[in-house]
Structure 1
Amino acid sequence: MIQWVLSWPTWPMTRIFGILAYLLLFGGMALGMLYGYPFAKGPLKAKLYRWHTRLTGGGVIISLLHAVILMIDTYSPFTAVEILVPFMARSHPFWYGLGTLALYGMLALMLSSDMRPKLKRPLWIAIHMLSYPIYLIAMLHGIKAGTDTSHPLVQAMYIGTFIITLGLFGGRMFLRSSSAAGGIPKRTPRRTG
């Protein structure tokens, strides 16, 4: 059995799983942001939420596989400590450590979402807002630690997903500030006389 596992193409697998985990995280984030847009109502809102949950959950599972395969890889193996303890990798400890932090962050987001009914809304929102820095950390990890970053398609992926994320985030902040400003009724002076 061990010989069979060691015969797997682990190095390509971990690279593919790393990129796939990033794309699933991006997709989950994008759908989560779209969920808050005013056009998302009724069945569409429910579908966005379902796919947001599926993509994010899939991203966490693929991230875990990415980490596990790094431990059995024969080309560039990592120890359990290097994977589980941030910034303990022999080479590029900072960039690999960001990957560990991103994984822990995704797990915390998933667990807090499962515990949402038991958490106070402001606490859940505060935890859920960590998805933005977690996404950035995962992206930096992929760019700086990923061995495929020099490939033009991978560069285009990072640039494209970052621009889309910024656009969706900016749109959401604009809508939020517009509704807050529009939600305050203007006082009209009373005429006397």
Structure 2
Amino acid sequence: MDEALWALGRGTGITALVFLTVSMILGIVTRSGRALPGLPRFGVQNVHRAAALIGVILVVVHMLALLADPYAQLKLVDFVFPFLSDYRAFWLGLGTLAFDILFAVSLTGLLRNLIGSRTFRLVHWSAYALWPIAFAHGLGNGTDSGHTWFLAIAIGSAVAVTGAVLWRLRTDFVEYSTLRLAEGT
């Protein structure tokens, strides 16, 4: 059973990275106001939300599996307060910090209509910090980080998110079109 919990913890962590990568990229595409080939804008938003939800569920299963795993010897406090663990305090602390941000982003996503767009956007911007923190946690604490298959997933995820963020920062990004019109460019 111990090995099954360890495998479940590892597998859900890696799979969560993939789903949160997809969510991050689609969140940027959604903000651009563009559709994807064969998928209208509302479809992109729906897939973004679904990928985020699946990613959150996988993170929770990842945490619960490792909490139950006697080999990991993690305590509940390790999942709430970053950098206090006896085991790889920095790398595990990054995972805890990523979860804390993920919780805030998820909560504001669920309460968007109650808290308003401005608060939602302000908290949602922290996803730009969440992803690299979670990514670093996976590289530093993941027992599979030395395997070629894991590195391929990690590099692919990093390239995809970096490309999306660079595209997001371009001045011809759709969001900035009203600013360009106001400036007369």
Same-fold call, TM > 0.5? yes
SS of residue paired to 1:89? coil
Q: Which runs of 5 or more residues in structure 2 are unaligned?
A: none
- Post-superposition Cα deviations, 1:84-111, rounded to whole Å, max 9, x if no partner, equal 3211211210110111111121111111
* TM-score (norm. length: structure 1): 0.85
CA distance in structure 2 between the partners assigned to 1:109 and 1:28 by the alignment:
12
In structure 2, what residue type is equivalent to 1:22?
L
Q: Secondary structure at the match of 1:95?
A: helix
Aligned counterparts of 2:87 and 2:2: Cα–Cα separation in 1? 25
Corresponding residue for residue 11 of structure 1: 6
Task: Find the counterpart in structure 2 of residue 55 from structure 1.
Answer: 51
Q: Give every structure 1 segment of 4 or more consecutive aligned residues whose post-TM-superposition deviation is greater than 4 Å.
A: none
Q: Could you tell me how far 1:113 is from its partner in structure 2? A: 1.0
Matched, 1:130 2:126: yes
Deviations along 1:127-163, one digit per CA (max 9) or x if unpaired, are 1110010001100000000010111121121111111
Listed as ranges, the matches of 1:163-174 within 5 Å are 163-174=159-170
Matches within 5 A, 1:83-162: 83-162=79-158
Using CA pairs below 8 Å that are at least 6 residues apart, which structure has the higher relative contact order? 2
| Aligned: 1:76 with 2:72 | yes
Paired residue for 2:181?
Answer: 183
Bigger mean CA offset, 134-143 vs 70-79: 70-79
Q: How many residues align?
A: 182
Once residues 130 and 109 of structure 1 are traced to their aligned partners in structure 2, the CA distance between those partners, rounded to angstroms, is 7
Deviation of 1:36 after TM superposition, in Å, equals 2.4
**Match of residue 190 from structure 1:** none
Deviation at 1:74, TM superposition (A): 2.7
Letter in 2 for 1:47: G
What is aligned with 1:34? 29
Alpha-carbon separation, structure 1, partners of 2:2 and 2:89: 27
- 1:83 Cα deviation (Å)? 2.5
- Contact kept in structure 1, 2:13 and 2:58, CA below 8 Å: yes
CA shift for structure 1 position 118: 1.9
Q: Which residue of 2 aligns with 1:3?
A: none
CA distance in 2, matches of 1:34, 1:185: 24
Gaps of 5+ in 1: 1-5, 188-193
Question: So what's the TM-score if we normalise by structure 2?
Answer: 0.89
Would the alpha carbon gap of residues 181 and 85 (structure 1) be closer, same or farther in structure 2, given more than 3 Å must change? closer
- Whichever residue aligns with residue 151 of structure 1, its letter is H
For residues 64 and 34 of structure 2, the distance between their equivalents in structure 1, rounded to whole angstroms, comes to 40
Farther-moved stretch of structure 1 (139-148 vs 150-159): 150-159
Find the residue that maps to 2:40 and give its secondary structure: helix
- 1:20 maps to a residue whose letter is T
Aligned residue among 15, 19, 22 for 1:24:
19
Amino acid in the other structure paired with 1:61: I
